[in-house]
A and B are shown apart, each in its own frame.
Chain A
Amino acid sequence: MNCFEPDEAVAIAAIPVTTVAFPILFVVLFVLIGLLFLIAYGIISRVLGLAKMHNTLLTRLLGMALGAIQGIAVAGLLLMPLMGFFGIVHDSVESVKNVRQEGEPSPRAALFYDEYVSPIADNPVLKATGFFGGDYMYKALNKVHVNGEAVDMREQAVTLFAVCEETADLQGADFTTLTEQDKALIVRMTNRLNESPYVLDIFSSMVRGTVRALDGGYIEISMSEPYNSTFHNSVHIFADSSAENLSEDIETLRNIYFLLSDDGVLVAIANGDDKEVTDALTTADDSGEIVMRRIIRELDQNEHTRPLVSELSKLSVSLMAGSFGDGVSENVVATYENLKTGLQDVTALRKDDYETDEEYKGAVSDKLDETLKGEGIELEADIIDKMADYVADNYAGAELSDADVDDILISYYDAYKATGELPPIPGLEEAVE
């Protein structure tokens, strides 16, 4: 708990406290204070001599009408917390139902609601309670001031409930190969978070707190490699998550997740075959852009997630070194750091020192091969040549920044794609001729 900020705890607690605890507190107080007032009423009516007062038919009829109104009001107040809570559940289910496209199955939460909750939530007594002022009172009790703004906690609770209800529909989904329906659900869930700045603020606080808790060793999240090391190395960028940047981060990560799922990368990783992973990461779309480049583009578009490109580079180093299944180990990190300096020697080769472009590219290829081999990475000659071409074309004589090093390492996938997908078929050209 030490990892969480004070305002975070208040924010997280505010929704259930305001929507459930305070209306109940109101009813408890009303019963207690009502009893005190009943005693006071007894004393007052004795003092004023009202107890001995003779009633006519008219005063009795009017008293009966007022008594009935009082009965309705008291019943409404006593049922208010129940009405409010079921109202939230009802609205969240309706909201989940409303966003469903035609042909999509009904949400599980809606089926459960119709079967078990609806008889209570939609019964006329609770509806009438709302009509006779319970609704107004509940809404008034649910308005709180957060950072100077009046926030309706009921609306936030509806959003949170709707997110939870949609999660239920993901039950049984294959998270390595998402269907269009699963993706539509995930998009809707994440979009819902953006609907409410307050809920987004809570989530960003939770993300910050979780990163701090992970760093402090208060909690441990462990998964299989290569996810584990990549997750632990990447999670730090979310230490400064806020309602302002979390929305964009969620969208970036969601898009990347969809890319990995659509192009079979997650299945390949699950199968533990490095070749299959590389093949999947180099699957091209209609425009010929490979998955890896699309991922980098997604990360680059968001300033906050841009540092993750270097994590991908490290992962690429582990793939090139044939240890992808072990993830980003200490050795991989050391290799990556060494490559940062090693690649400077490659780009330091001067083009002017060579008579032809081919000679220069040949030298770059040799130096690159030597640098990679020095770090225990042995790639096919064709791939080395393609990467060398990329370096020669884009970084000749350049002082490499960290981003440039990442770009060169990731050019491995383009080289793999260029050489791996269309292998030369011996004798084919002659046969065509």
Chain B
Amino acid sequence: MGTESVTRALLNWVPWVLAGLVALGIIISAFKGARRGIFRQGIRFVSVVLAVVLCFFLVRWAQGNYPDYQGMTMGEAAEQARLSEQYASL
């Protein structure tokens, strides 16, 4: 069996492994939900939603403020570019 066929065989297994892991995760989560009951699970669910929302806005904030190699943020760099353009047009 050559390296190529081993690679292909492994690649063919990846979706199944992934599907298995996801299915297992969902079953465990459903089982825990049944053990907790709707009220406790409800609070747990709200905490997950809050975590998602918080992370989303944190990342959106970081997108506008990540530093480049000169230590400037994206906003600062855009402002500098605007000023250089203005200067060049004078």
Q: Which of chain A's residues have a CB closer than 8 A to the CB of B19?
A: 123-125
Beta-carbon nearest neighbor of B48 in chain A: A70
Contact A67 B81 (CB under 8 A): no
Contact B78 A9 (CB under 8 A): no
Q: How many residues of A contact B (CB 8 A)?
A: 61
Segment from A34-42, A100-108, A176-184, A317-325 that makes contact with B = A34-42
Contact of A22 among B7, B22, B41, B62 (CB under 8 A): B62
Segment from A140-148, A375-383, A386-394 that makes contact with B = A140-148
Interface residue? A55 (CB, 8 A) = yes
Q: Which of chain B's residues have a CB closer than 8 A to the CB of A373?
A: none
Q: How many residues of B contact A (CB 8 A)?
A: 55
Interface residue? A259 (CB, 8 A) = no
Contact B77 A66 (CB under 8 A): no
Distance, CA A141 to CA B64, complexed state (A) = 12
Contact of B80 among A7, A26, A50 (CB under 8 A): A7
Q: Which of chain A's residues have a CB closer than 8 A to the CB of B52?
A: 30, 73, 77
Interface residue? A219 (CB, 8 A) = no
Supposing A17-B66, A77-B52, A125-B15 touch, asked if A147 and B78 sit within 8 A by C-beta, the answer is yes
Distance, CA A61 to CA B38, complexed state (A) = 8
Contact A45 B34 (CB under 8 A): no
Q: Which of chain A's residues have a CB closer than 8 A to the CB of B27?
A: 71
Segment from A113-121, A162-170, A343-351 that makes contact with B = A113-121
Q: Which of chain A's residues have a CB closer than 8 A to the CB of B70?
A: 6, 9
Residues of A within 8 A of B (CB): 1, 5-7, 9-10, 13-14, 17-18, 22, 25-26, 29-30, 33-34, 37-38, 40-41, 44-45, 50-51, 53, 55, 59-75, 77, 79, 115-116, 119-120, 123-126, 137, 140-141, 144-147
29 contacts between A and B (CB under 8 A): A1-B69, A6-B68, A6-B70, A10-B74, A22-B59, A25-B62, A29-B59, A30-B52, A33-B54, A33-B55, A38-B47, A55-B37, A55-B38, A59-B38, A60-B38, A63-B38, A63-B40, A63-B41, A66-B41, A67-B36, A70-B44, A73-B52, A79-B22, A115-B8, A119-B11, A119-B14, A120-B14, A123-B14, A140-B56
Known: A51-B40, A75-B22; 14 extra A-B contacts, CB below 8 A, are A6-B81, A9-B68, A10-B72, A17-B66, A29-B58, A33-B54, A50-B39, A65-B33, A66-B45, A70-B41, A70-B45, A74-B48, A119-B12, A124-B15
Q: What 10 pairs between A and B have smallest CB-CB spacing?
A: A67-B33, A71-B29, A123-B15, A55-B37, A64-B34, A71-B26, A7-B81, A37-B47, A68-B30, A62-B38
